[in-house]
Structure 1
Amino acid sequence: MEQVTRALGGRIAYGADYNPEQWPEEVWDEDVRLMQEAGVNLVSVGIFSWALLEPTPGDHDFGWLDRVLDKLHAGGIAVDLATATASPPPWFLERHPEATLVDQVGNRRAFGARQAYCPSSTAYRDAATTLITELVKRYDEHPAVVMWHVNNEYGCHNDHCFCDASAVAFRRWLADRYGAIEKLNEAWATAFWSQRYTSWEQIGPPRQVSYGNFANPGQQLDWWRFCSDEIREIFRVEAAAVRAHSDKPLTTNFMGFRKSLDYRSWVDVEDLVSNDHYLIADDEDRTQQLAMTADLTRSLAHGEPWLLMEHSTSAVNWQPRNIAKTTGEMRRNSFQHVARGADGALFFQWRASRGGAEKFHSAMVPHAGTESRLWRDVVRLGADLSAIAEVSGTKVAQAGVAICFDWESWWAATFDSHPSVDVDPMATARAWHKACWARNLGVDIIGVTDPLDGYEVVVLPVQYLLSDEAVARFTAFVEAGGTLVATYFSGIVDEHDHIRLGGYPGGLSDLLGVRIEEFCPLPEGDEIPLTSYGSGTIWSERGRAVGADVVAAYATGDCAGDPAVTRRRVGRGTAWYVGTELTPEALDTLATQVFTTTKPVVGGLPEGVEAIRRVGEQGTYVFVINHTHEAVIVPVRGTDLLSGNDGGPHVVRAGQVAVIREE
């Protein structure tokens, strides 16, 4: 991100996806003028323009793009130039029908939307590489181009393809992983249901099996691993095609907690991490969800500044009810991302489309034009981001809490034929993040192999799959003085989805000091009272403490008296076990005990007022975002870069934002 920021003159990146090909050429000059008025300094160009850049195979038309880039450069606007490979044109599937997506029941999907290609298609990779090579050779030296945008939202609509080409690629991936068919049989427990394989050719994707039956869980887990790897391989191929002719930074836009793609395995291919984020209108905690996704993106970037590639100025078009953002919400959303480490806030898109599937998606220039509240808010946000330019390059201060969230465990925990369909690792992780968010505690979202240095508390929310190495690392963390919180359905299986025998929670039993004999999931909607904290939902267990103190037990039912929440001293640290899904009130009470010594970024602020600190060589900056309907007093002294107010404490009015350079 540093190289891009330098190209922008040290400013925070501000702009959008720009799709001039959707508009008559006479509109382009007005676009540049309005971008200047709004303070736009970076736009992504060409994301979905393959069909125009290559109208027939091998026939390239770059004239219109030449003119667009020249106009943007003349207007002082930098370009994140896309490889245009996000969606192949109609001629590609006409020429390569074998590259069409196939669903789990064997149906070929028709052309007519985007990402209509199989990730394992070599024809797609060859065509994409050819286009990228022509683009990079032509435009890498163009003065407007400061970075490369590889593809777009990989796997958003084609993360799993069940065609024959995918089957061949899956077998090859399995052979590389296991080496011998006997090792695969062991990993997949194929002695069950007479599934033992004698050759690789017998194996296929987990297509729909006989009615009312379950696919092999080992096969399912490896399939999800394969699909994530296969799409990442497309990125590697496309990135290599860019780097063959360019040393400018490149990125591809992640999609936050996209279930099908293990982004931690992608970041080593990128020069900077970028993310797209959209609020879910019916999510009551969407502000907290935004914060959690930004914490994840920063963690993927290893704490370095990252780029918010897309979010929305107001409503989107793809939800059942597309709710417009309220007054000031776009501004608060943007500052949430920047506060949590983004050195840019870009939108989809610059000008709202007249036609197409996303014509009702909001944009920086709405259908109503510049005589609108939305446009005035866009201009104000541009001025605000310019006012805090000195923040660029700084990093978010060390977090005291880490929430461990692992994609492979997420996949495995949510397969079929499990104790309860209500178990949701994401929901549990969000509940713990919300407990931190409400207390203004810094949080990183880490993987099981990430370093634990510097954290006071590590939370394992439904960390179903754990390797022996991960268990050893968490044990060492506690022994050295850390606090670990593990929830139910954690440590249950190894990396092959094999049960760890001897009692639950398997690999974590010794560390936590509990032995669970049997899971007792609750009926839908039921709660079970506890002897302290309140109630649990979804889950209960029969078991006993073995060295741990029982802090709360089940108060009624078959599990009455059995441990629900335990605490054990290990070395200089503490290991907590939470054997049920606590209600929000119960979790809040427990969190008060767990986070006793963890200091908030700024103390004394009510829930709904975020405070995040970014730190750099020249100073520290406290971002305050007030999501409430009341003014708050912030006990921080310094200069608010947005209002110019000096001194402190500062008053941040309802729905407003402050960025305070601390004295």
Structure 2
Amino acid sequence: MPKSVARDRVWLGVCYYPEQWPREMWEDDFRRMRELGFDVVRMAEFAWSTMEPEEGVFRFGLFDEALDLAHRYGLKAILGTPTATPPAWLTERYPEVLNATQAGVPYRHGQRRHYNYNSHVYRSFSERIVRRMASQYKEHPAVVAWQIDNELNCETNVFYSESDHRAFRAWLIGKYGSLDRLNEAWGAAFWNQTYSSWEQVYLTRPTVSDSPNPHQALDEKRFISDSAISYAKLQADIIRELAPRHEVTTNGLFGHLDSHRLTDELLDYFSYDSYPQFGSIYPDGGDRPLRDRKWSWNLSKARSVSPQFCVMEQQSGAGGWVNRMEMPAPKPGQMRLWTYQSILHGADMVLYFRWRTAAFGTEMYWHGINDPHNRPNRRVEEAGRIGEELRRVGGAIAGKAYRADVAVLGSYDNEWDGELDRWYGPLTGYSVTSWIKTLQYAHIPVDYVNAEQASAETLERYRVVVYPHAAILSEETARELTAFAERGGIVVFGCRTGLKDENGQMRMQAFPGPVASLCGVEVEDFTYVLEGDAPKVRWTAERLRGAPDAVGPKFVDVLRVAAGDVEVLARYASDYFEGKPALTRRPVGAGAVYYYGSAFEESVAQALTAELGLRSPLLDWFEELPEQVEAGIREDDGGRVAFLLNYGSTPAAIRTKREVRELLTDRLAEAADAFELEPYGVALFSL
């Protein structure tokens, strides 16, 4: 059962760093937080040297005072364990705690996240500071939750210290038991990589062509994830022991970390850090880029971990360090828009980063709600508007689940293996973006689902699941997808499906491997497609003849029909495989399975959206919505709340079909009423 935030209304809050500001500012800060409608503050995640200025010398007076003052103003607190930034006295005296590059060069003090998870010395110091903190604040009336560390695997998600190499060997011994089994799993007979002693085994190290053993590289990423989870467990166990009434969470969604397993095993709920402006800096490309709206997909991934989650850091201003990642200031209304974007996608607790922009340090251009001069500004005013609204309507939203009939599947194994394997890894981002853009602009909600946890039962809530390029596809997942289709579900696969087993080795069977019989096709030929050489695709099914022109970009599986009930919906219309099947459909039980032999460009995603009869659930209440508006529903047995979010810089015209009440204005709209959604505006409707 997924773990979620449990709140009777949506909580609003902010990240606060009392150690960075004079004490005479604190009371005014907490007073104004309450006036803005804030419920909670996060503190202490970077304050180790404040609490332990010298080895073994502990001083909690600053945070005692800050927490007492926060409590006086009715604020709750989430305390961050400060282990993301070890003190200088620790890294200088015990350099073995430092992480290292792949070449073995240690990282030095001066930034953050420069430690490694497997140093027994660092684990010992981490255990001590967490234990002392938990003992100090286990009964404090303001404290409700703990954030373990900060953004595990952010900044870097690879670890090559001597401690990590030793721990990797121990991990491999636990997994394989013998060198014979390790050599088999890693295909060590290739290029004479066979190991005869465990001392010969390391994490990947620099190679001549920067191409390590791919099976070793996959296990390395699994090991890194397990190391991070083990380190988090060290802290979670202490908090559970000493402060059992407090919630435990951590924030992130970073690489080489199984956040689903982390949450299932250790946390009360998952927390995410949402910075939509990254989508504007690194847009998805093509026509009509999603930009900040693309962040809804990231929030869908967070929702797959915890259906109702916490946003521990919500963007509130321009973002950037002194040397990189410059982002423009949110336009008037965008901070509010992004807050409701998070809430639509399942956030029942949202904390802004940060209360006041730092006056010094690397992040002094990562702007918060207040500027360093502390004078009124439009961000403060906007935060106050949000706080007032959530006091009125937050109770009608909290606990409700996001509704979607479509799911896109992904897996950690394919994500991690695909980083190295360029023959399929880059296809996933391309195809997922095409599907997400198509569904977003058609106002069709979509979930992300971790395929490694998916079963026919958990997938029953969806009409359609899309698993674009599952090169690593287990027999168990194949059986669950088969059962899902037999019960009436629709499964859509893309090229390169089913190539590999769980070790990342190629299967010695016809592709698409364990789902070949399910799909009723075999891959008789395949080729990488050069830029500009994508073959044309011709729709052959009569019902698709009006679909947009399409091509097969990036990669091509040339298909052969292997079952009599397979329908060919499209064929390649150019290159040496002209006339061969490109898209097939096979009925399976009460459902169906589709196989597309290439990466999904938007035109193909659009054609399949029409083919599958997918439509926006909001069309029951509203006329066709403008493309610039995102639409979604949160619902439970007590009712439904529809969100309309305008990402455009121009107003969006909305017309109702049925009587609905807009919650933020308490306006009752009748059938055929028309209203205008302001630029970057938000509307919430009780359906």
> Shorter-chain TM-score: which interval?
over 0.9
1:635 and 1:292 map into 2 onto residues whose CA distance is 28
The partner residue of 1:14 within 12, 15, 18 is: 12
Asked whether the equivalents of residues 136 and 245 of structure 1 are also in contact (C-alpha less than 8 Å), the reply is: yes
**What is the CA–CA distance in structure 1 between the aligned matches of 2:178 and 2:5, rounded to whole Å?**
46
Residue 310 of structure 1 aligns to a residue whose secondary structure is strand
Matched, 1:600 2:624: no
DSSP 3-state at the match of 1:537:
coil
Are residues 622 and 542 of structure 1, via their aligned partners in 2, closer, same or farther at CA, if it must alter by over 3 Å? closer
Give yes or no for contact 1:254–1:274 (8 Å, CA) kept in 2: yes
* Structure 2 letter corresponding to 1:538: K
Task: Give CA-to-partner distance per residue, 1:72-123, whole Å, 9 cap, x none.
Answer: 1111111111222221111111121111111112211111001121111111
Residue 287 to residue 526, structure 1, CA distance change in 2 (3 Å): farther
Partners in 1 of 2:293 and 2:459 — Cα distance?
24
SS at match of 2:150: coil
CA contact (8 A) 2:293 2:647 kept: no
In the alignment, which residue of structure 1 is the partner of 2:223? 226
Cross-structure match for 1:214: 211
Secondary structure, aligned partner of 1:542: strand
- 1:125-164 alignment runs, 5 A limit: 125-164=123-162
Structure 1 letter corresponding to 2:186? W
Q: Match for residue 442 of structure 1? A: 445
Greater displacement, 86-95 / 50-59: 86-95
- Cα contact 2:534–2:553 (8 A) shared by 1: yes
How far residue 3 of structure 1 moved from its aligned partner, in angstroms, is: 10
Contact 1:400 1:598 in 2 (8 A): no
Q: Quick one: distance in 1 between partners of 2:11 and 2:182?
A: 48
How far did 1:525 drift?
4.4
In the alignment, what sits opposite 2:261? 265
Q: What amino acid is the match of 2:573?
A: A
Distance 1:249 1:503 in 2: 53
Q: Is the contact made by 1:129 and 1:237 (CA closer than 8 Å) also made in structure 2?
A: yes
- Tell me which residue corresponds to 1:405: 410
Are residues 1:309 and 2:334 paired? no
Q: Which residue of 2 is the match for residue 551 of structure 1?
A: 569
Q: Is the 8 A contact 2:270 2:309 kept in 1?
A: yes
Q: Using a 3 Å threshold, how does the CA distance of structure 1 residues 614 and 582 change in structure 2: closer, same or farther?
A: closer
1:464 to 467, 471, 494: 471
Query: What is residue 489 of structure 1 aligned with on the other side?
Result: 496
The within-5 A match list for 1:105-116 is: 105-116=103-114
Contact 1:396 1:612 in 2 (8 A): no
In structure 2, give the amino acid aligned to 1:480. Answer: R
Aligned position for 1:658: 683
| Cα distance between partner residues in 2 of 1:347 and 1:366 | 14
Shift of 1:278: 1.3
What's the CA shift for 1:597?
A: 5.1
Q: How far apart are the structure 1 equivalents of 2:676 and 2:461?
A: 31
Equivalent residue, structure 2, for 1:286: 291
Tell me the equivalent position of 2:238: 241
User: Matched residues in 2 for 1:202 and 1:642: separation?
Assistant: 64
CA distance in 2, matches of 1:635, 1:49: 54
The amino acid of 1:500's aligned partner reads R
Letter in 2 for 1:567: R
Deviation at 1:252, TM superposition (A): 3.5
Q: Residue by residue, what CA displacement relative to the aligned partner does 1:254-289 show, whole Å, maximum 9, x if unpaired?
A: 334x23212121111111121112121222323342
Amino acid at match of 2:634: R
Report the equivalent of 1:639: 661
Match of 1:584 in 2: 602
Contact 2:147 2:251 in 1 (8 A): no
- Please state how far the C-alpha of 1:467 moved relative to its aligned partner: 0.7
Would the alpha carbon gap of residues 4 and 455 (structure 1) be closer, same or farther in structure 2, given more than 3 Å must change? closer
Q: Tell me if structure 1 keeps the 8 A contact 2:9–2:395.
A: yes
- Structure 1 residues 459 and 130, CA gap change in structure 2 (3 angstroms): same
TM-score by structure 2 length? 0.91
Which of 57, 73, 76 is the aligned partner of 1:75?
A: 73
Contact 2:10–2:390 (8 Å) recurs in 1 = yes
Match of 1:44 in 2: 42
Percent sequence identity is 31
What is the DSSP-based 3-state SS (H/G/I as helix, E as strand, rest coil) of the residue aligned with 2:382? helix
The 10-residue stretch of structure 1 (423-432 or 371-380) with the greater mean CA deviation from structure 2: 423-432
Shift of 1:228: 0.8
TM (normalized to structure 1)?
A: 0.94
Equivalenced residues, count:
652
CA offset digits 1:403-424 (Å, max 9, x no partner): 11111111112314x4367x33
Letter of the aligned partner of 2:68 in structure 1? D
The DSSP-based 3-state class of the residue aligned with 1:309 is: strand
How does 1:361-400 map onto structure 2 within 5 Å?
A: 361-367=366-372, 369-400=374-405
d(CA) in 2 for partners of 1:529, 1:345: 46
**Which deviates more, 639-648 or 264-273?**
639-648
In the alignment, structure 1 residue 500 sits paired with structure 2 residue 520? no
**Corresponding residue for residue 185 of structure 2:** 187
CA–CA separation in structure 1 for the residues paired with 2:592 and 2:462 = 13
Aligned to 1:607, the other structure's residue is in SS state: coil
Q: Residues 166-204 of structure 1: CA distance to partner in whole angstroms, max 9, x if unpaired? A: 111001111111122211111111111111222222210
Distance verdict in 2 for CA 1:32–1:364, change over 3 Å: same
Report the more deviating stretch, 501-510 or 570-579.
Answer: 501-510
Q: Distance in 2 between matches of 1:362 and 1:220?
A: 38
Encode CA deviations 1:275-323: one digit per residue, 9 max, x unaligned: 112121222323342211222211211x3x2111112112211454412
Tell me which residue corresponds to 1:537: 553
> Structure 2 vs 1, CA of residues 617 and 551 (structure 1 numbering), >3 Å: closer, same or farther?
closer
CA contact (8 A) 2:143 2:246 kept: no
The whole-number CA distance in structure 2 between the counterparts of 1:48 and 1:652 is 44
**AA in 1 matched with 2:41:** V
**Structure 2: how far apart are the matches of 1:487 and 1:314?**
39
Give the C-alpha shift of residue 599 in structure 1.
5.2
Query: Displacement, 1:2?
Result: 10
Q: Secondary structure, in 3 states, of the residue corresponding to 2:295?
A: helix
Tell me if structure 2 keeps the 8 A contact 1:439–1:600.
Answer: no
Instruction: Read off the aligned partner of 1:199 and give its amino acid letter.
Output: S
Match of 2:303, SS state, is helix
> What are the ranges of 5 or more consecutive residues in structure 1 without an aligned counterpart?
none
TM-superposed CA distance for 1:43, in Å, is 0.6
Distance 1:110 1:63 in 2: 29
* Amino acid in structure 1 at the alignment position of 2:553: T
Match among 290, 293, 301 for residue 296 of structure 1: 301
Contact kept in structure 1, 2:13 and 2:352, CA below 8 Å: yes
> Retained in 1: the 8 A contact 2:585–2:594?
yes
Alignment of 1:115-126 (within 5 A): 115-126=113-124
Q: Distance in 2 between matches of 1:538 and 1:379?
A: 48
> Secondary structure at 1:424's aligned position in 2?
helix
Contact residue 541 and residue 559 of structure 1 kept, 8 A: no
How far apart are 1:486 and its partner, in Å?
A: 0.5
Q: Which runs of 4+ in 1 moved over 6 A?
A: 1-4
1:526 and 1:331 mapped to 2: Cα distance? 44
Partners of 2:561 and 2:373 lie apart in 1 by 64
In structure 1, how many angstroms separate the alpha carbons of the residues matched to 2:331 and 2:604? Answer: 32
Q: CA deviation at 1:158?
A: 4.0
The alpha-carbon deviation at position 433 of structure 1 amounts to: 2.4
**CA distance 1:288–1:564, change in 2 (3 Å):** farther
Letter of the 1:644 counterpart: D
2:411–2:450 CA contact under 8 A, matched in 1: yes
| Contact 1:491–1:508 under 8 Å retained in 2 | yes
Query: 2: CA distance between counterparts of 1:627 and 1:611?
Result: 11
Q: How far has the Cα of 1:225 moved from its partner?
A: 0.2
Structure 2 unaligned spans of 5+: 284-288, 540-548
